Every structure is written in structure tokens, then in C-alpha cells.
Structure 1
Amino acid sequence: MPTHLEQSLQRDIDRIHAKVCEMRDLIETSLRNAMTALLDANRQIAYAVILRDDLIDEKEKELDRLCLEFLVRQQPVAGKLRFAYSTIKMNQEMEQIGDYSENISRQALKIGELPDVVSRERFKEISDMSIKMFGDAIEAYLTENVDLARRTMAVEQAVDALKSRLNTDLVDLYKEGKIPFDVLRPLTTIARRMERVTDRCRNICMEIIYMCTGEYAKHEGSDIFRVL
């Protein structure tokens, strides 16, 4: 039977997990709605995403507070200390992803109606891949699944390649006079923001691997070292 201290520890972890899930749900919804605002030229949805960013910022502060309370109350060591540290770092990454959804919505407002020559399928594809990567990264965190974290990291390269193809297509359309610069610039910004979502997800996965194993490699090809 768990001791009182073990029960207290688990309650705090459960509270942190619950707050992470709240942030995940808010961010996934904002990302999906931001892309809907672009593809459907829906200004109302775009404004809703922009306003929703304040709620994501508030959840970030709440999660930070829970992590700090966990550190003070539990005085964790080793794995549980890595859990708190990695959650704080992950929280920063999630908040940035929320900012990207706001920025995408602002860019969508600049464009208005998406020209027919622009591939909606490409934008939907990069959006779907990025959102799934985010969801998988959070699932790897909640389940402490290192294998899932490593598999999820690999998606980043595919999204990078897709963004490059998308940008090439957009620049070609601009050179051919099929879209104006006022449309080209926000569209390439949106593609870059979706790609940046996967960069943040990769950082989250690296924190998960560190949390679970104590191994930390900041850059691909760098030495892995064990701490805590």
C-alpha cells in the first residue's frame, strides 16, 4: 500500500499531468482553428484564435506554478527532479506553439480569400502532420514512452521537406504573376510557423528522453551525457 508521501507525490504529478492535458487541448484546437481560418477565409475563427492565446498564456503560468510547488513540497531528486525540470521546459515550448497559432491567424486575416491557385491540400497536410506530432509528443510525455518520443522526432524532417516544397510552389506562383506579394509573404510565414511547431515538438521529445533516461543531447550528432 502506498505511503502518505507516495500518495502526496502522485497527487502532485496527476495535477501537473491534468494541466498539461488542458494546455494540449487548447493548443491543438487553436492550431486546427487557425488553419480553418486560412482555408475557409473565416475572420471570426481567426479572431477567436487570437483572443484564445491569452487563455493559453494563463495555463502556462498555472503549470509553472504547479511545477514550482512540486519542487518545494516534494523536494524531488533524480527522476522526479528531471520530471519537474523537463515539464517546465516543455511548458515554454507549448506556449510558443500557442503563439504560432495566433500568428497564423493574423496572417490569415491579411490574406482574406485564399487564391484558387494555392494548394489547400499542401497547407492541410503540413497542418495535420504538425498537429499530430504535437499530440504524439504530449502522449509520449504522459506515458513516459521514450520509443514514441524518438519516433515522433523523426517527423520533423518530413515537415521540413514539405515546407520547402510548399515555399517553392508559392514563389513560382508569385514569379508567374498568379499571386501578389501581399499574399506570398503571409503564406510563406504560415508555412514557416507550422514547420516551427515541429521544431518545438522535437524539443519537447528531447526533454522527454532526458526526463525518462537522464540522457541529454542538445543537438543531433552531439555527445549524449547523463545528469541527475
Structure 2
Amino acid sequence: MAEHTVKAFDEEITTLRGLIAEMGGLAELAIGEAVEALTKRSQELAAQVIERDKKIDRLEAEVDRLAVKIIALRAPMADDLREVLAALKIAGILERIGDYAKNIAKRVSRIEGRLNSEPQTLIPAMAEIAGEMVHDVLTAFAARDPALAVDVIERDARVDAFYDSIFRNMVSFMMENPSTITSAAHLLFIARNIERIGDHATNIAEQVYYAATAEYVVDRLERPEN
């Protein structure tokens, strides 16, 4: 491969990584601000989250175009090909994470009053863990760090435990307070969206692990310790 071609390839890979980092930063910000809009009942902040999601969508389209260009013109092999394919898949997952944050923001206006229930306090804590998973898995992608990717995957159990607790508490709360059913149901959907964000962070971690090791993480997790 000619020197100028190698330089162009390196620049395109750097640009691709930068786009993923920008998408990830916006997705992480959207999660935090959507939950803040919920806790403060801020319609203005919720509207910002919804509007900013369009930028995440545009960045995904840029990643798609660049990844296809790299594959078509540079014919990357082995490690490089895995990284490009991982970036392509990660962009799609980040776009969905942005959609979940947008869905949370959209429900802010549908919750009436302030529900004095345990799930109301658990949701921000649950969202914090999910947001940290997104942040750390993007760090793992940038650093090609399979160990950090595995750590993110293992953390998803904590998000699931939060969701199970919120679900049980919210169902009981709705039975005891029928007048709050509509608002409580929206909170339950919000918790479900956060749980899905955790799942998608796990999906990204699986892509990161494969890109870095050429192995599937499920094989690593199921392999008995020596």
C-alpha cells in the first residue's frame, strides 16, 4: 500500500473514531439531561433532548457513509476490518440509545404532579449506572480495551436489578393509588427505556471485545477459569 494511501486510511480511521466518540458523548448527555428533565419536570430541557437527537441521527449517517467508503476503497483486513465493522454497528446502537433518551424526554410532559413513590428515587440511580456504562464502553472502544468491555457487560445485571425492583414497586403503588395509574405507567416505561440503554451498552461492549480480540465475548465468559 502506497504511503499516501496508508496516510489517507489512517486519517479516515481517526475520523471514524471521532464520529463515534461524538455520537457517544451526545447519547450520554441525552441520558443525563432526559432524567434531569424528568426529576425537575423541565419541559425546556426535555425539548432540548428531543431536538438534539437529530444530530445523533446525522452523525450515524456520516459513520455509515465513511465506513462504506473505507471498506470499498481501502479493503481493510483483519484488525482494521473488525474495527470498521464494529464502528458501523456501534453507530447504529448509539442511535437507538439516543432514541431511548428522546422517548424518556417525551414522557416528561405526560407525568402529572410528583409521585411520592420509591421508583421515583430509584430511576435517577438506575440511569446513572446506565450512563456510566455508555461512557465506559466508549472508552473501551477508543482504547481497544477488552477487559473494560467485559466489566461493562457484567454491570448490566445491576441495571436489570433496578428495573425489577422498580417494576414490583410501581405495580404495587398503582394498585394502592389508582388515580396515579397513567403517570405511574409512564414512569414504568421510562425505567424500561433505561433498562434497554443498559442492554445496548452491553451490545456495544460485545462489539468492542470482538474488534479487539477476534473472539466472541460469550466464549470468554463461558470459558472455565484455569
**What TM-score results when the alignment is normalised by the length of structure 2?**
0.91
Is the alpha carbon distance of 1:219 and 1:101 closer, same or farther for their aligned partners in structure 2, counting shifts above 3 Å? Answer: farther
Is the alpha carbon distance of 1:179 and 1:35 closer, same or farther for their aligned partners in structure 2, counting shifts above 3 Å? Answer: farther
Match of residue 226 from structure 1: none
Matched residue type, 1:100: Y
Query: What 5-or-longer segments of structure 1 have no aligned partner?
Result: 224-228
What is the aligned length? 222
Cα deviations by residue, 1:52-103 (Å, 9 ceiling, x for unpaired):
2111111110111111121123210111111111111111110100000111
**What TM-score results when the alignment is normalised by the length of structure 1?**
0.90
Structure 1 residue 165, shift from structure 2 partner:
0.5
Match of residue 127 from structure 1: 127
2:36 and 2:112 map into 1 onto residues whose CA distance is: 12
1:192 and 1:218 map into 2 onto residues whose CA distance is: 24
Structure 1 residue 162, shift from structure 2 partner:
0.8
Is the aligned partner of 1:86 residue 2:86? yes
8 Å CA contact 1:117, 1:178 repeated in 2: no
The structure carrying a bigger helix percent of its residues is: 2
Matched residue type, 1:103: N
Match of residue 192 from structure 1: 192
Match of residue 75 from structure 1: 75
After TM superposition, list the pairs within 5 Å mapping 1:1-228 onto structure 2: 3-177=3-177, 180-216=180-216
2:21 and 2:12 map into 1 onto residues whose CA distance is: 14
8 Å CA contact 2:140, 2:208 repeated in 1: yes
Query: What 5-or-longer segments of structure 2 have no aligned partner?
Result: none
Matched residue type, 1:171: V
Structure 1 residue 180, shift from structure 2 partner:
1.5
Q: CA RMSD in A?
A: 2.1
Segments ≥4 residues shifted beyond 2 Å: 2-9, 116-121, 216-223
Structure 1 residue 160, shift from structure 2 partner:
0.1
8 Å CA contact 2:209, 2:217 repeated in 1: no
Is the alpha carbon distance of 1:115 and 1:178 closer, same or farther for their aligned partners in structure 2, counting shifts above 3 Å? Answer: farther
Structure 1 residue 220, shift from structure 2 partner:
9.3
8 Å CA contact 1:41, 1:112 repeated in 2: no
Q: Between the two proteins, what is the percent identity of the paired residues?
A: 26
